[in-house]
Amino acid sequence: MALILIPTPLGNLRDITLRALDVLAACDSIVAEDTRVAARLLAAYGIRGKRVSGYREQNALDVTRAILDRAREHTVAVLSDAGMPGISDPGRELVAAARAAGVAVEVLPGASAFVCAAVLSGFPLERFSFDGFLPRARGERERALRAALLRATTTVWYEAPHRILASLTALDALAPEAEVFVGRELTKLHEQQVLGTPSAAAAALEAPVRGEIVLVLAPYARVEKAVTEEQLEAAIDAALAAGSPPAAIAKALAGESAHSRQELYARVIERKLARERSSEDSF
C-alpha cells in the first residue's frame, strides 16, 4: 500500500481538503506528531476508530521500522501538528526511509505557513529561499541574516515567539531600512500581519509575543551603487564570513558597483585567499 503525507490546517479547521478527509476516513492507521492534536482534528470531522500512534524526532528511531512494515500492507497517513509534514516538522526522515525500503509514498497538497506568509508579504517570489528556523545562537543568527541580505531575493523563516524580537533587533542593527513582513498566528482568530522596517515590525508586536511566527525579508541591496572600494571589500568579507560561495557573492554584488561579475569573482577569490593566509599566519 502506501505512506501518505497529509497537510493539516494551520489553525482554522475548515482549511483541510476534501481529499485529505477521504484519506483519513479510509486509511488503516495514522501516525502523528502529536496524537492529541490529531485526535482533535479527527473528532472535528467525525472520524472515529482510527489507530493513532506518535511519530516525532524523539522516538523516530524506535518506531520507523514498524511504521514502514505497516505501510507495506496498509495505507498509513502521516500528520504534523499543522501544515505540511516534513517542512520544519517530522516527516522528511520517514519519507527517506520509506524510499530506501521500497515503500510507496504519496503527498497531498495543502496548507503550508511559509508559502502563505510569502504570498501575503507582496515581495518578489520569482525566486525565493525558505531557510527553516533562524538559528538560536546570536552569532549564527546574525550570519544567517547577513547571508540573506546579500542574496538579493526574498527569504522566509519560521521563528519562535520568544525569539522574534531578538531576530528583528539583530536585523535592524544590520539593515535598519530593510523591509520585512511578519505573519503571526496565520489563519487563526488573532492573526496579525505586519509590514515595515525591522524596528517598526518589532514595535507592532505586543509583548510577550505569542503564537506561530513567520518572518519574510524582502530582497535587499546590501551595497549601494556608489560604493567605495573599502565598502566593497567589507561587503565581500561579510559575505565570506557568512559562508556564501564566491560565485554567489559576485552575482549578488554585480550591478551594485562599477565592476563586472567576472571582476568581482576575481576580487572575492583574492579576498578569500588573503583571509585564509591570514588565518594560517595567526597560528
DSSP 19-42: HHHHHHHH-SEEEES-HHHHHHHH
Q: Name the domain boundary from 162, 191, 217.
A: 217
Q: How many domains does the chain have?
A: 3
For residue 48, what are the contacts with CB-CB under 8 A and spacing of at least 6?
42
Inside any domain, residue 158: yes
* Residue 247: Cβ within 10 Å count: 13
Q: Name the domain boundary from 107, 141, 172.
A: 107
State how far the Cα of 270 lies from the Cα of 259, in Å rounded to an integer: 15
Do 95 and 160 have their domain in common? no
Do 59 and 78 have their domain in common? yes
Q: Name the domain boundary from 217, 243, 273.
A: 217
Q: What is the pTM of this model?
A: 0.76
Q: One digit per residue, pLDDT tens: the chain, 283 residues?
A: 999 999 999 999 999 999 999 999 999 999 999 999 999 999 999 999 999 999 998 999 999 999 999 999 999 999 999 999 999 989 999 999 999 999 999 999 999 999 999 999 999 999 999 999 999 999 999 999 999 998 889 999 999 999 999 999 999 999 999 999 999 999 999 999 999 999 999 999 999 999 999 999 999 965 444 567 788 888 898 899 888 999 889 888 875 666 677 888 999 999 989 888 877 665 5
Q: Which domain holds residue 243?
A: 229-281
Residue (of 167, 121, 162) closest to 146 by Cα position: 167
Report CA-CA distances (Å) from 182 to 59, 126, 141, 148, 197.
Answer: 32, 20, 17, 16, 10
The strand pairing partners of 183, in sequence order, are 193, 214
Do 101 and 117 have their domain in common? no
Inside any domain, residue 11: yes
Do 248 and 266 have their domain in common? yes
Do 12 and 87 have their domain in common? yes
Do 212 and 236 have their domain in common? no
CATH of the domain at 129: 3.30.950.10
State how far the Cα of 155 lies from the Cα of 181, in Å rounded to an integer: 10
CATH of the domain at 72: 3.40.1010.10
pLDDT recorded at residue 280: 66
pLDDT recorded at residue 256: 64
Going through 126-179 in order, the beta strands assigned E by DSSP cover 128-133, 154-159
Inside any domain, residue 121: yes
Angle of helix 246-253 relative to helix 229-241, nearest 10 degrees, comes to: 140
Inside any domain, residue 224: no
249, burial (CB in 10 Å: exposed 0-12, middle 13-18, buried 19+)? buried
Do 208 and 265 have their domain in common? no
pLDDT recorded at residue 84: 96
Judged by DSSP in three states, 129 sits in strand
Cell, residue 271 = 579576498
DSSP letters spanning 183-215:
EESTTSTT-EEEEE-HHHHHHHSPSSP-S-EEE
State how far the Cα of 179 lies from the Cα of 196, in Å rounded to an integer: 5
Do 253 and 176 have their domain in common? no
